Structure 1
Amino acid sequence: MATWNSRGLRGSTLEDLINRTNERYDEMGLALIQKIPTPITPVKIDKELRHITLAYFDKISTVDYIGVVQGIPVCFDAKECVRDTFPLQNIHEHQMIFMEKFERQCGISFLIIYYSSTDELYYMRFKEIQRFWERAKTGGRKSFRREELDPAYFMELKSGYFVPYLDYIQQDLDARD
């Protein structure tokens, strides 16, 4: 599929690729997207090494990334999946609530899913996430299969590291009109 030759992300995590992509989008003046740190309270600190060895989460987090793309508010979460079936338990209810509220404020919410077994990236629109979420809440499958996804939203890395999610935000916007 992509330019990284079916050898996975070659040691890079999905988050690393997205962070580099966000830096590039910022340099190009196309978007300003920030990684949202998870708020923690340190319990133990190794003073010699000067790092936290034990901590707990202060509060629940929302999504991994938030920002603006040419005047449009955007928020998204990055997820990795080893199999062709994605368990919905990987998406937390507080994330769904946040993304729904974000959409109501005329923002765009989505997931970027990396299927490591097939080296595929997927842009999952909020309405698609919501459909699977509602199916699970009404007694249906508590996961979705790769085959259930819209083929038009599978992404390929550009230049081996660039996650072209802006192209898919545009496709998402076009589908809303």
Structure 2
Amino acid sequence: MGTWKTRGLRGSTLEEYINYSNEKYREAGLALIQKIPTPITPIEIDKSTRHITLAYFDKKSTVDYIGAIQGIPVCFDAKECASTSFSLANVHEHQFTFMQEFENQGGIAFLIIFFKSLDKIIYVPLKDLKLFFDRMNSGGKKSFKFDELNEEYIIPKKGDIIVHYLESLSLYLSKDS
């Protein structure tokens, strides 16, 4: 059981941008994506500010987002990393398993990763993530570099949509079919 004792969570900036983008997608009738809250049990609450200062995670969460994009079920997780290398330890086994099971049911699963040092956000399909996990499980590297990803999947900012991941998803779907 993990504990949480901070005012902010890692990845929250990216998640705020994605939440805003998802709202714009919903308003335009393009997608309906929900942020899945992480279930917690508050232990300490600052009475003056009414902020939770200590909490325990109730159970393992699956992914950050789930929904439908023009009839296609999708689930994805948002991740941030400070360097040009992404540690696979940031994707928990239960998350990876959920994403695989989601795709086995006909959905599309992926990561959106913000590489802060490069100031680039990229769409990472589950099949690419699986290649990195297979490499690690065969005794290889426990991470992957930005340079190993398909740069065609870099997510642009477009108009007032900060993380316009629908274009990258559309490109992936057109190549995968």
Alignment TM-score, normalising by the size of structure 1: 0.89
Distance in 2 (alpha carbons) for counterparts of 1:48 and 1:174: 53
* C-alpha contact 2:102 2:108 (8 A) present in aligned 1: yes
Q: Which amino acid aligns with 1:55?
A: A
Per-residue Cα deviation, 1:67-124 (whole angstroms, up to 9, x for no partner): 1111111101111111111111111111100000000011010011111111111100
Query: % of aligned pairs identical?
Result: 56
1:67 maps to 2:67: yes
Determine whether 1:146 maps to 2:146: yes
Q: Distance in 2 between matches of 1:43 and 1:155?
A: 38
Gaps of 5+ in 2: 1-11
Per-residue Cα deviation, 1:117-171 (whole angstroms, up to 9, x for no partner): 1111110000000100111011011000111111211122123652111111111
The residue type equivalent to 1:85 in the other structure is S
CA distance in 2, matches of 1:58, 1:87: 25
What TM-score do you get using the length of structure 2 for normalisation?
0.89
Q: Which runs of 5+ in 1 are unaligned?
A: 1-11
RMSD: 1.4
Cross-structure match for 1:79? 79
1:125 aligns with 2:133: no
CA distance in 2 between partners of 1:88 and 1:114 (Å):
14
C-alpha contact 2:152 2:168 (8 A) present in aligned 1: no
- Residue equivalent to 2:163: 163
Amino acid at match of 1:155: I
3-state DSSP class of the match of 1:49?
coil
CA-to-partner distance for each residue in 1:11-65, whole Å, 9 max, x for gaps? x811111010000000001100011100001112233432322110000001111
Q: SS at the partner of 1:63?
A: coil
- Conserved 8 A contact 2:74-2:109: yes
**Matches of 1:111 and 1:99 in 2, distance apart?**
10
What is aligned with 2:7? none
Runs (4+) of structure 1 moved beyond 3 Å? none
